[in-house]
A = this chain, B = another copy of it.
């Protein structure tokens, strides 16, 4: 017994639910060694030569007592935790983001890091969040403010900012260019001979960071190809809204013969609206979406769309986080992330 009568905390803890943590001291007492030895054994500390018998005893005691190391104490001592925080903007999480997070979680787990995702990043100051978590790194998906970036650096936290969208303030950062998404839609429609284009914009305010550059890309490519500016209509995800947009598109002069949509959901609404109006796709109006959601291949007609390779993006994100943590150099940027999926609608 090397710690006899060590006083129990005087300070009342939370509940008084009878919760008393098993600590290294308990394991040490139980196995008749010092806390030092317990730590060495349980952490497999290199260079600590502990006899097999002692190791055995310590492990058994830890097991028997149900010892669980305190993450807080360890983080305090080491000066860092084993957590990676993903601060997710208030985006609707679909299959794309979901698999990105799944992939990242799996990959970093092999390096002993736990990925934690916080939704609705903009709800509170970002600093409140990482203060409460003290992660090794913060993945932001969009750019951090200069102030946030400074604060994280001061706290020794790696900040991985822009990853998913274009950001003019960070021209160097990797991003799946949303502008290019819009350009690709137009190039495909123009190649099929369409000259007068409509655009079906989303009404979801949460995705404005994607919506703005996609439309910009559409406008830009129209200009570059000498086409008239696209006729933009906001379309909700309903048959009625899709149908309501059609008259404006079909109006003279130069009725629209093809519509690019913000994404597949909006494109499906356009499809449904045109169907309700007995317009044929693609003969009367061609339609192209973005994302290649599962439903895209099931519509009538099947939806032509631009897909963003989740797989490549996920790998890049992982590599970027790992590089930041290891102090390595930025990973190679993936090429050919965007792919045109031609089906029947355009």
Asked whether, in the complex, the Cβ of B295 is within 8 Å of the Cβ of A131, the reply is: no
B79 near A13 (CB under 8 angstroms)?
yes
Number of interface residues of A (CB under 8 A): 75
By the criterion CB–CB under 8 Å, are B94 and A123 in contact? no
Q: How many copies does the complex hold?
A: 2
A301-343: CB near B (< 8 Å → 1, else 0) gives 0100000000000000000000000010000000000000000
Given A114-B132, A272-B300, A294-B237, A14–B79 Cβ distance below 8 Å?
yes
Q: Within the assembled complex, what's the spacing in Å between the Cα atoms of A31 and B132?
A: 25
Given the complex of chains A and B, what is the CA–CA distance between A302 and B123 in angstroms?
36
B76 in contact with A76 (CB, 8 Å): yes
Known contacts being A116-B116, A118-B105, is A268 close to B239, with CB within 8 Å? Answer: no
Measured CB to CB, the nearest residue on chain B to A104 is B119
Residue of A71, A106, A109, A128 contacting most chain B CB atoms (<10 Å): A71
What are 17 of the A-B contact pairs (CB < 8 Å)? A15-B156, A19-B154, A19-B156, A68-B127, A68-B131, A71-B133, A72-B73, A72-B81, A105-B120, A106-B123, A114-B129, A114-B133, A115-B119, A238-B297, A265-B294, A272-B298, A272-B299
Our pick among B93, B109, B119 for the contact of A123 (Cβ within 8 Å) is: B109
Q: Within 8 Å of chain B (Cβ to Cβ): is A80?
A: yes
Residues 77-112 of A at the B interface (beta carbon under 8 Å) = 78-83, 85, 90, 92-95, 97-98, 101-102, 105-106, 109
